[in-house]
Amino acid sequence: MSIFEAILLTVITASTPLVIAALGELVTERAGVLNLGVEGMMVMGAVGAFIGAQETGSPYVGILCGIAAGALFSLLFGFLTLTLVANQVATGLALTILGLGASGMIGEAYVGLPGIRLMPIEIPVLKDIPVIGAALFKQDLIFYLSIALVIGVNWFLFKSRTGLKIRAIGDNHGSAHALGINVIRTRYLAVMFGGACAGLAGAQLSLIYTPQWTENMSGGRGWIALALVVFASWRPWRILAGGYLFGAVTILQLHAQAFGIGIPSQFLSMLPYAATVVVLVIISHNRRTTLINTPASLGKAFVPDR
């Protein structure tokens, strides 16, 4: 495998969890809910997937456990913000802190154990295409799921009736309630979908990216996923492009260190997060476009009439 093919393969592997987690948060925010706990749900998914794979010997069971862990953890956020009407920003931050601490405690006995890696699926003929064959057609199941999710979420939000209801709730939950749409139930489902996607992204980290369990292994990816939603202007296809952009920055800084480029390692390590800040500043400069695409009810609590 050439150096270019190896870099392309690692960029795809690094970008996949960002794309999946950001897609889940995009649906959540389209429903008018701002969940800043993506990092916490992702790391809970990572530890859940690793333990599930270890205890059963099957990485596929591990994936299901990771999805379940993320979805169940998101229910805590949903209960606090949708039922008890707690502040969404504060609750999301607390969820991240709780997830990082709880995952470290749950996974303490599994630190240092060799992981059960999810093996790639080879597509005959296509995998032999020069340069892109091994990178695109000899990939793991979660990569193919990420592409399917982009297509599915785009169709769901903009072509289906339920997707129209979700966008209506995100734009004006009062009017949606007046039309007979169950705002709270729909938001619960959106929050759970976001949690499931974050859990799947975490499973990718502990079963594919680095098949092992280490505390705080999400490494800030949940925050990058949150920024990706704004970067994409709440559009699924832009999530895919942005995810691979940030994934490329992450991997290229690692290869720069390997090639011995004379740049301080601390500066290279901060590049993905610096790029996130720069992109958000550029996007925020065009306030008109940002306001047009932002769900009008994002982060606002809804209490139905009694």
Q: Which CATH class is domain 3-293?
A: mainly alpha
User: Average pLDDT of 79-91?
Assistant: 95
Instruction: Tell me the percentage of the chain whose pLDDT exceeds 70.
Output: 92
Instruction: Give the CA distances from residue 293 to residues 40, 167, 233, 275, 300, in Å, rounded to whole numbers and listed in that order.
Output: 26, 11, 6, 22, 16
Q: For residues 109 and 268, which has the higher predicted lDDT (pLDDT)?
A: 109
Residues 272 and 267: their CA atoms lie apart, in Å, by 10
Residue with tokens 């559009």: 235
Q: Which pLDDT tens digit goes with each residue over 232-289? A: 889 999 999 989 988 888 787 766 666 666 677 677 667 777 777 787 777 767 666 6
Which pLDDT score is estimated for 166? Answer: 96
> Is it the case that residue 291 has pLDDT exceeding 70?
no
CA dist list (Å): 8 to 28, 108, 264: 30, 33, 24
pLDDT in tens, 46-83: 999 999 999 999 999 999 999 999 999 999 999 999 99
Contact 100, 38 (CB under 8 A): no
**The predicted structure's pLDDT at residue 246:** 85
How far from chain centre, in Å, is Cα 190? 14
Q: How confident is the model at residue 110 (pLDDT cuts 50, 70, 90)?
A: very high
Instruction: Give the pLDDT confidence of 183-234 residue by residue, as tens digits.
Output: 999 999 999 999 999 999 999 999 999 999 999 999 889 999 998 998 888 9
102 pLDDT above the threshold of 60: yes
Joined tokens for residue 288: 């008109």
Residue range 169-181: mean pLDDT, rounded: 93
Distance CA 105, CA 133 (A): 41
Write down the pLDDT at residue 1: 57
- Please state the domain extents for the chain: 3-293
- 3-state SS class at 277: helix
Mean pLDDT of the chain: 89
Whether 248 contacts 272, CB under 8 Å: no
At residue 131, the pLDDT reads 74
**Residue 306 pLDDT greater than 60, yes or no:** no
